[in-house]
Structures are given as structure tokens and as C-alpha cells.
Amino acid sequence: MIKVLSALLLVAVPVLIGLAMNYLMDLVLGILKAGGRRKDA
Amino acid sequence: MLNEILAYVSPSVPGYFSGIALTAALSVIGASVGILAGLFGVGGGFLLVPLMNVLLGIPIDLAAGSATCYIIGASASGIVRHWKRRNIEISAAVLLSAGSIFGALTGDFLQDFIIHTLAGGNREMFEKIMQGLFVVILFVIAWIMYKNPGERKGGKTVLQKLSFGPSVTLRVSGQEGVNAAGLFLIGFSGGVLTGLMGVSGGVLFLPILVLGVGLLPHLAVGTSLTVVFVSSLTAVLKKGLSSPDKVSLPVAVSLLVAGTIGVRLGMIISGKISGSALKRYFSIIALSAAVMVLVKLFF
């Protein structure tokens, strides 16, 4: 049981972190781009 | 029970560093490989394992397992992007993934075979064998990046010329009569690399998918990511179920967090530096990594 749950954790955590980091980077880069455009205007 | 699960996914990591120093070192490696990956448009997994093994002293099987765990997260975010843009050739992805599942399981069995039978349980011998395999792979990658194979020029692909067994139609790429067994075998070979060495093999398989299978380049990237995701998922499940010493979740998470930031930085830099010759410079990096492993192998 512990082995199965551990194996599932080993695949679920990287998927969640990968997706979350991707979303976060999109958000940060979006904010930086919007800030840059506002400065230009 | 939670404590037992956390202990299982966080085995002790032998090597030159521990604690915060190890996390910091892994983050530096993850970010550096991420920048290179974003800059040159490659996965970069084949650099992670040698760097963790040579620079941090992490046993090569634990480094390979943790790098495979990292690849799951790195490919997951890529798949979402490509899925939204319909950049995945479904029929090819299904056959390649089916092959990669068997390949990943075979790769992990092969790793156990090398440790217990070929090296007779001798860890030092096992490390040497694996390092030798990495030298070969890194030289092949350096050569492929140097040659920088271009786009397909038309005519029948290798898999269309194979006349035995069933064939499939790749609708989006417009290729008919593509050998199904050939696709399965390509997936199988990629899976073996993932299960055995913890590398996705994307650099090796992109030219095969474009030139050998006939996929359009943007479809080859999305399809390859799907296959890499399936094979790394299978390999980590197999490793996780067989032994607690093969994958370290904290190592994978440290690499993933820093690596994702690095990839984005690399992509921003690559947008400012143009030129297809850029990829050739990557062959120098792969070559340097090969020399680094070679030095570790003999000294």
C-alpha cells in the first residue's frame, strides 16, 4: 500500500509542479510585458 | 502512514553535498540546463544525469530516476501547450507511447540486470558501465546537433517503405501507409533510454520522427513530448514500486522549479539571438559533457 501511494506521489507531484510553474511563469511574463507596454505608452 | 510515504519518496542522497547546499546545487544545475534547453530547443535531460553524477557525486541510478521524475513535470507543461495548438499526431503518439511503455519497463529491468548480473552487485563497476553509456549517448547527440538535420525533402519515408504488418495513416501530417510496428519500435527504443538512463532522448528522436516517420516538425515536438511523458511516467511508477532508492522526489522538485524558470529565460534569450547555426554550438556543450564523464570514468 505504501509503495503504491509513494509511486503515485512520485508521478503526481512533478505533474502538478510542472503545470503550476508553467502557469506562474506565464503570469509573471504577462505582467512584465504589460508593464513594459505601459511604460512605452 | 504519511511519514512512511514521505520517507519512501525522500531516500538519503549520497554525494558531496547535503541539506540546503544540495538543494542550492541542484537548483543551479536545473536552472543552467533549463536555460540551455530553452535556448537550443532541446529537453536537456541527457545533461542532468551526468552533471548530478560527476559534479554532485549522486549515484547514477538515483540521478537517473530523479531526472526521469523531473522529465514528467517538464513534459506535462509542454503537452498542455501543444495540445491546445493541436500539435499532436494522435495515431502516431498512441503507437509510439505503447512502445515506450514496454521500453521504459525493459530499460529499468536492464538497469537492474547491469547492477546485479553484469556488474555482479559491484556499484563502482555499475557506475563505470553507465558512465560509458553516457559518453556514447553524448557523442551521438553532439554529432546530431552538429549535423543539424533539416526538413524532409518529400518522397516515401523509411516507415512507409516497410511493407510488412499493419500500417496507419497520419492524418494531420498527411502521410499514408506508415508502418505501425516501426512506430512501436521507435517508441520502444526511446522508452529503454528513459528507463535505463533517465534521459528522454528527444534530441535523438525528433530527427527520426521528422525524417524517418514524416511528421511535420511542430507535430514532431508535440508528439515526442507526449511519448516522453508516457515513458517517464511508466519508468517512475516501475522504479517507485520496485525500490525506494531509485527516485528522490526532493531532488526532482529542486530541478523542476529552477529548470522551469531556466527554460523560460532560455526561450527569451533565444528570441533575441537568431540563426540556425546556434544549434551547432550545442554540440560543443554535449561534447564537453562527454569529456567530463570520460575524465570521471578514467580518473
Q: The complex's ipTM?
A: 0.90
CA B278 to the chain's CA centroid: 21
CB contact under 8 A, B236 and A21: no
Q: Is the pLDDT of residue B80 over 90?
A: no
Q: Would you state the pLDDT for residue B151?
A: 63
Residue with cell string 516501426: B182
Q: What angle do CA B77, B83, B84 make, to 5 degrees?
A: 100
**What average pLDDT does the segment B123-131 reach?**
90
C-alpha cell at B4: 512512511
Residues of B with CB under 8 A from a CB of A: 1, 4-5, 8-9, 69-70, 72-77, 80-81, 233, 236-237, 239-241, 244, 247, 249, 252-253, 256-257, 260-261, 264
DSSP state of B101: H
| A16 band by pLDDT with thresholds 50, 70 and 90 | very high
Q: What is the mean pLDDT of chain B?
A: 87
Q: What is residue B278's predicted lDDT score, i.e. its pLDDT?
A: 67
